[in-house]
Structure 1
Amino acid sequence: MKYMLFLLIALPVVEIAILLLSGHLIGIWPTLLLIIITGVFGVFLAKRQGVETLRKAQEQMRYGSMPGHEIIDGICILIGGVFLLLPGFVSDIIGIILLLPMTRNLFKPLVIGFIMNRMNRGRVNIIRYK
C-alpha cells in the first residue's frame, strides 16, 4: 500500500507519454483505434475467462471442495479486465497478462501473498449476509 500513491501518479504519466509517442509515430487515429480494439478484446477475454473460472468454481463446490484457486483466478481476471478498460498500452499489457491463464499463474503467488499478509495483520473484514 505504501507504493500506491507512487503508482497512481507514475502509471498515468507513463501512459500519457507512451500515447503521445504512439500518436507521433503512427498517428492519432491508429492510436485511438488500437485503444478501442484492446478495450473490446479485453471485455471479450475477461467475460470468457470469467465464465470459465465460474464454471470451475461451481464444479469444485459441487464436489465439496473449496474453490480457492478459482477465487484467486477470479480476482486476477477482475483486475485484468479493469486494466484493459483503462486507456493506455501499459495498462493493456498488465491486463492481458492477468487475463491469460498461462501468465496469470505468475501473479497468483503475489495475490495469495497479499491476501495472506492482510489476513495475518487482521485487516480483512468478513461480512456475512443472512
Structure 2
Amino acid sequence: MLFRLFLLFTLIPLAELWLLLWFSSLTSPTVTFGLVVVTGILGAWLARKQGAQAWKKIQMNLVQGQQPTGVVLDGLMILIAGAFLITPGIMTDMLGFALLIPPVRELLKVHIGEWLRKKAMLQVQSHASFHSSHAGFQDFGSTQSTVKEEDIIDVEFVRKESSETD
C-alpha cells in the first residue's frame, strides 16, 4: 500500500509536469498557463454547481425516507472531480471533467457497486458466523434486485441478567 501511494504521489505529478511542458512546447507558456487557470476556474464552478444539486437530491431522498446511496456516491465523485480540476495538469483535468459527466458517473457506480458487493462477500466468507445479503447496495446503479428471502436473517438478542450468585 505504501508503495502504491509513493507511485501515486511521485509518478502522476511527474507525468503531469511532462505533459504541461510538452503542451507548452507545442503552444506557448502563456497558453499553457491560461489552460491551467481556465480549467481550474471552470472545474471549480461546475463541481460546485453539481455538488449543490447532489446535496439537494440527498436531502430530498432523506425527506422521502429513501436511502441516498447512489446520490452520495455521485457527490463523492463530484468532490473528487473538483479536486482533480483545481490540481494543475492535463490528465487530472481530463479525469475531473469525465467525473462531472452523469453517464460516466452512472457507469462508475455500477462498477463500484459490484466491487463493494465482492468485497462484502469476501468479508462475509472470512467470518463464517453469519450470512450476508446484498441489502443496501441496490442503489449503486444495479437494476436487478439480488436480495432473496433466504438471504434475510432475523436475529433477536436477549441480554442475560447476572445474578449475585454468579
TM norm structure 1: 0.82
Q: Distance in 2 between matches of 1:83 and 1:114?
A: 23
Unmatched tracts of structure 1, length 5 or more: 122-130
Q: Distance in 1 between matches of 2:95 and 2:47?
A: 13
Aligned residue in 2 for 1:67: 68
Amino acid at match of 2:67: M
Superimposed CA distance per residue, residues 28-83 of structure 1 (whole angstroms, 9 cap, x where no aligned partner): 00000000000001111101110111111111111101100011001101111000
Q: Distance in 1 between matches of 2:106 and 2:98?
A: 9
**1:99 pairs with 2:100:** yes
Calculate the aligned-residue CA RMSD, in Å. 2.3
User: Which structure has the highest helix share of the two?
Assistant: 1
Aligned residue in 2 for 1:6: 7
Structure 1 residue ranges, 4+ long, deviating more than 6 angstroms after superposition: none
Superimposed CA distance per residue, residues 72-106 of structure 1 (whole angstroms, 9 cap, x where no aligned partner): 00110111100001000100001111122121223
Q: How does 1:1-130 map to 2 (within 5 A)?
A: 1=1, 3-112=4-113, 117=119
Amino acid at match of 1:43: A
Mapped contact 1:15–1:88 kept (Cα < 8 A): yes
Q: Percent identity?
A: 32
Amino acid at match of 1:28: P
TM norm structure 2: 0.66
Cα distance change on mapping 1:83 and 1:114 into 2, 3 Å: farther
Instruction: Answer with 1 or 2: which has the greater Rg.
Output: 2
